[in-house]
Amino acid sequence: MTSDKLKQVTHIDNVRLSDDDCSVIIIDQTRLPNHVEYISLHTAQEIWDAIHLLKVRGAPAIGIAAGYGIYVLARQIESDNYETFLTEFHRQAEYLNSSRPTAVNLSWALRRMEQVVKDNASLSVPEILDLLGKECRAIHEEDIAMCRAISEYGLSLLKDGDGVLTHCNAGPLATSRYGTGQGPLFLAAEKGVNIKVFADETRPLLQGARLTSYELHNAGVDVTLICDNMASIVMKNGWVQACMVGCDRVAANGDAANKIGTSGVAILAKHYGIPFYVLGPTSTIDMNCPTGDDIKIEQRNPDEIKEMFYAEPVALKDVKCYNPSFDVTDHELITAIITDKGICRPPYTESLAKLFE
């Protein structure tokens, strides 16, 4: 594998601002891996749909898209009156925030952008827009640095020849550069550390099959795709020395919400004595959320189970479906939470709090 090949994967611009600042440009992740299609988002509806329909997904990438998105919408507000501008800005931010209730980076980025407006009431609207442009770009640049730091910390827990099982997608497509949950795997390849990866397909949207295996394979990483219900046997076979996953929200006590099926992987890892690591930026940690019981779990369309990716429905139309997007992994099952500011270990009520001191 050459470093140039890896750079083509890890430095892909999956979310960016257009050159004229009038639209958000994303890779439509629902079209991967067979079609790499860029789309431009100009309106509030287009941005909301892109986030809700998982055209852009992954907690950090959603935060980046939200920052760029609210900036694009702010530029469309036709008023130089500060109060009118603030009211409309807040309305648009609230609307975008309703697209995905579980991913904390969405609300985090929107609050951060709105704070710029509130902190600069004495400035003109054009001056505030200039500051908003700088802020959304800063969110993106900070994510690049955070992903590199998370990847470095995560790689410090692995050694040459290890097998790693991962769930869902928390690589470059879900973030900015290396990723979070899969970031150490890309960095390992870049540094010549040989890691064998087992990627769960991750039902029902198959982010592991469509995205994780796609990214890792293109980066030259030794990746094997498995069905979600095969995690136990590869662990029992001794092929897995660590589990690494991303997260959409981490509660103050260390409970972590991630793509549905993650908690099952953690339970299996506990049974087989395999360390289970959750990786994410500090922006994903919600210290205002006491436990995982306080995390709102998004319920999605049953058709994702019965019809998506199939030529014909695999179940009868009237069969009921339960389709939560996430589950919560209990903090007692998590060996460590790896952030851009360091590795946190139990008790998480103390180690996570120290990150924000």
Residue of 143, 200, 228, 248 marked active site: 248
Using pLDDT thresholds of 50, 70 and 90, give the confidence band for residue 7. Answer: very low
| 31 in Cβ contact with 76 (< 8 Å) | no
Distances (CA, A) of 320 to 75, 78, 234, 326: 44, 46, 32, 19
pLDDT per residue over 14-66, tens digit each? 999 999 999 999 999 999 999 999 999 999 999 999 999 999 998 889 999 99
pLDDT in tens, 240-296: 999 999 999 999 999 999 999 999 999 999 999 999 999 999 989 999 999 999 999
Mean pLDDT value of segment 222-243:
98
Given this model, what pLDDT does residue 159 score?
Answer: 97
Q: How far apart are CA 33 and CA 171, in angstroms?
A: 14
CATH code at 153-355: 3.40.50.10470
Residues in contact with 57: Cβ distance below 8 Å, sequence separation at least 6, in sequence order: 29, 51, 169, 174, 207
User: Domain limits of the chain?
Assistant: 3-147, 153-355
Tens digit of each residue's pLDDT (9 = 90 or more) over 332-344? 999 999 999 999 9
Query: Which fold is adopted by the domain 3-147?
Result: Four Helix Bundle (Hemerythrin (Met), subunit A) (1.20.120)
Cα separation of 70 and 93, whole Å? 6
Tell me the C-alpha distance between 209 and 214, whole Å. Answer: 7
Whose CA is closest to 85, among 55, 50, 123, 48? 123
Known active-site residue 294: no
**β-bridge mates for residue 163, sequence order:** 196
Please give, one letter per residue, the 3-state secondary structure of 21-71.
Answer: CCCEEEECHHHCCCCCCEEEECCHHHHHHHHHCCCCCCHHHHHHHHHHHHH
What is residue 1's predicted lDDT score, i.e. its pLDDT?
40
Neighbouring-strand partners of residue 343: 338
Query: Which one-letter amino acid corresponds to residue 323?
Result: N
What is the percent of the chain with per-residue pLDDT over 70, rounded to a whole number? 97
Nearest 5 degrees, angle CA 220-CA 173-CA 72?
Answer: 150
Which pLDDT does position 5 carry in this prediction?
46
Output the pLDDT for position 90. 98
pTM, 2 dp = 0.88
Identify whether the C-beta of residue 69 lies closer than 8 Å to the C-beta of residue 25.
Answer: no
Looking at residue 137, its pLDDT comes to 98
Q: How many whole angstroms separate alpha carbon 83 and alpha carbon 205?
A: 42
Rounded (5°) CA angle 127-133-138: 130
Q: Residue 249, SS3?
A: strand
- pLDDT reading at 2 higher than 70: no
Report the distance separating Cα 108 and Cα 45, nearest Å. Answer: 20
Who wins on pLDDT, 136 or 104?
Answer: 136
What would the pLDDT profile of 151-207 be if each residue is shown by its tens digit?
999 999 999 999 999 999 999 999 988 999 999 999 999 999 999 999 999 999 999
Beta bridge partners of 17: 24
Contact 240, 230 (CB under 8 A): no
Beta bridge partners of 222: 196
